[in-house]
Amino acid sequence: MEKGMDAGLLGEVTCVDFWCNEFGMRVRIALRELGVPFEYIEEDLRVRERSDLVWRMNPVHRSIPILIHHGRPVCGSVNIVEYIDDVWGQVTRRLLPADPADRAGARFWADFIDHKVFSTQTRFFTSKGEEKEAAKEELVEHLKRLDREVLGDKCFFSGDEFGFLDAVFIPFSSMFYGYHQHGGIDLELECPKLTRWEKRCRERESVSEVLPDGKVQYELHKKFYGIE
């Protein structure tokens, strides 16, 4: 699709994203999980300037992913997954748990992933020496918390079925190879439940078709973060 193309010409459901964007993968996985057909528009984050479409559809943050439904944009990856569940989960199956306390728990951990795991991961990849070691330790602590306290012995974060929190966190598993290469983090040892969960998730078409290869993902992040 060309830049600046009129939003009126967009399909019913359009997802604007970059293929290796951990936040956007959530959206593409959720759409596939609920069987929603969508048009995909690639926004290359390696290019400095955002496209006209992103400027028009997300003028506040100028970030992706963006879901455009009947020409109306929805922004913020967790917000979009909730929207997808609100609109299409009604007719297939819900991604969010039915119980209000479980829903609140899922939202709490989604926020933990966005504001604790992601920021620590960024520090881990961008710092050196002692700071890198501290970030590595903290990152492992966060992952252990998800492994033991949140996932535990369940098949998926949401229970027996792949759901909201699984869609929110599984894109981060595309960084697990990078965790090992960059800091020697042995996730099979540190987080065995999470490792088994990752394998279970990757058996799903919705996940395997969206997640990039760990090596490719790490190479791209090395360039992005300036890691030698």
Q: Which span sits near a copy of itself by CB under 8 A: 39-47, 69-77, 175-183, 209-217?
A: 69-77
Question: Cα separation of 207 and 33, whole Å?
Answer: 9
**From the CB of 75, what's the least distance to a copy of itself, in Å?**
6
**From the CB of 113, what's the least distance to a copy of itself, in Å?**
12
Q: Which span sits near a copy of itself by CB under 8 A: 45-53, 76-84, 166-174, 194-202?
A: 76-84
CA distances for 154 relative to 2, 74, 158, 167, angstroms: 45, 31, 8, 15
Which two tokens mark 83?
């929207």
Which two tokens mark 9?
């010409």
**If you search the block for the tokens 């920021």, which residue do you land on?**
119
Which residues 86-115 are close enough to bind a copy of itself by CB under 8 A? 86-87, 100-101, 103-104, 107-108, 111-112
Strands (E), the chain: 13-17, 39-42, 66-69, 72-75
| Residue 72 contacts a copy of itself per CB under 8 A | yes
Which two tokens mark 128?
């050196």
| Residue 62 contacts a copy of itself per CB under 8 A | no
**From the CB of 53, what's the least distance to a copy of itself, in Å?**
18
Which residues 128-157 are close enough to bind a copy of itself by CB under 8 A? 145
**If you search the block for the tokens 């970059």, which residue do you land on?**
18
SS3 39: strand
List residues near a copy of itself by CB under 8 A.
60, 69, 72, 74-76, 79-80, 82-83, 86-87, 100-101, 103-104, 107-108, 111-112, 116, 145
